[in-house]
Structure 1
Amino acid sequence: MQTNFLPVLRNLVSAYQAFERYSAPDLRSMGLTMTQFDVIATLGNQPPMTCKELGEKTLVTKGTLTGVLERLESKGILERKLNPEDARSQMIGLTIEGQKLFEQVFPAHLKHLEGAFRKLNVEKLESLRASLKSLEEIF
């Protein structure tokens, strides 16, 4: 049994946990969870999309997505309309208030993340991107 990948797995999980510890408090200060931000960031400046498309473009599982959409809809951030091309599905998009929220929180959170990522030079960022892409491809 080959287990030489375990240190890589541990570093991957640790890196994600560190990212969450850095990112989540900033989003909470804006009244959002990481999942809500992911949905808002995906829908921002985009035409409405189906729930399936939204699920494919975010890091949110289908079961979690339903609850997140309901909460964001109840806050007036997004709206769901029947899909004119397929009445079995809905089109999901940001409301005017949701788009304003996106325009406020997206650049602010990117600036926060830049505080950490600017510690890496262009070559290191590209190396990390390529390594993570290789890891993604094996699964």
Structure 2
Amino acid sequence: MTELPPNPGELLREVARLYTRAQRAAAECCGTTNTQCHILTELGRSGPIPLSELGARLLLEKSWISRAVESLVRDGFATKEPNPADARSWLVTLTAAGQQRVTALNATLNGHADGLLTPLGKREREDVARSLQRLRDLLLNDSRPACSPSRTDTKGSSCQ
């Protein structure tokens, strides 16, 4: 067994890094790029959403999200239409083919996640599920800014 990092925060970061990498590899098996996977699954969760809000949620620059959405529109997975609530923005929506792709992606990614937990016994899986639910709730309710003037990066400069 490998030695645990010195604190839970480091362990959480390492688990998140490894899990993200594994999920990205699983999504690529479906013929979906990482960016497309992000966009499709977010649209599947949120429903139609303004392009600018989609970019903000995924932390993608405006030009990057625009190109990625255009590729999904070209591939028939999404539509981009003027936003009826704001004439200055675009509304991005999944097509029927996009919804099918999201369903397939979710099945693939959920199957991968379930497979990771298979070696655990029933009680261990229940413990993991409870811990993950608690962590999810903490993340959903975390109102602290990710970067504040009092925080610094590893080189001692402000992270703003």
Identical residues among aligned pairs (%): 23
Q: Which runs of 4+ in 1 moved over 6 A?
A: none
Post-superposition offset of 1:135: 6.3
Look up the match of 1:110.
Answer: 110
Tell me, yes or no, if structure 1 residue 85 matches structure 2 residue 74: no
1-structure distance, mates of 2:131, 2:108: 26
2-structure distance, mates of 1:53, 1:88: 13
**Aligned counterparts, 1:1-139, within 5 A:** 7-44=7-44, 47-55=47-55, 58=57, 60-63=58-61, 64-118=64-118, 119=120, 120-131=124-135, 133-134=137-138, 137=142, 138-139=144-145
Gaps of at least 5 residues in structure 1 are 1-5
Is contact 2:48-2:93 (8 Å) kept? yes
Greater RCO (CA < 8 Å, at least 6 residues apart): 1
Give the TM-score, by structure 2 length: 0.66
Give the TM-score, by structure 1 length: 0.74
- Post-superposition Cα deviations, 1:9-67, rounded to whole Å, max 9, x if no partner, equal 432321122102321221111111333222212223764221244346x5x11314333
1-structure distance, mates of 2:10, 2:81: 43
Gaps of at least 5 residues in structure 2 are 1-5, 146-160
Provide the secondary structure at the position in 1 that maps to 2:7.
helix
- Post-superposition Cα deviations, 1:93-136, rounded to whole Å, max 9, x if no partner, equal 11222122223222232122211145342233222332464467
1:88–1:135 CA distance, 2 compared to 1 (3 A):
closer
Letter in 1 for 2:130: E
Is contact 1:45-1:99 (8 Å) kept? no
2-structure distance, mates of 1:62, 1:20: 17
- Larger Rg, first or second structure (1 or 2): 2
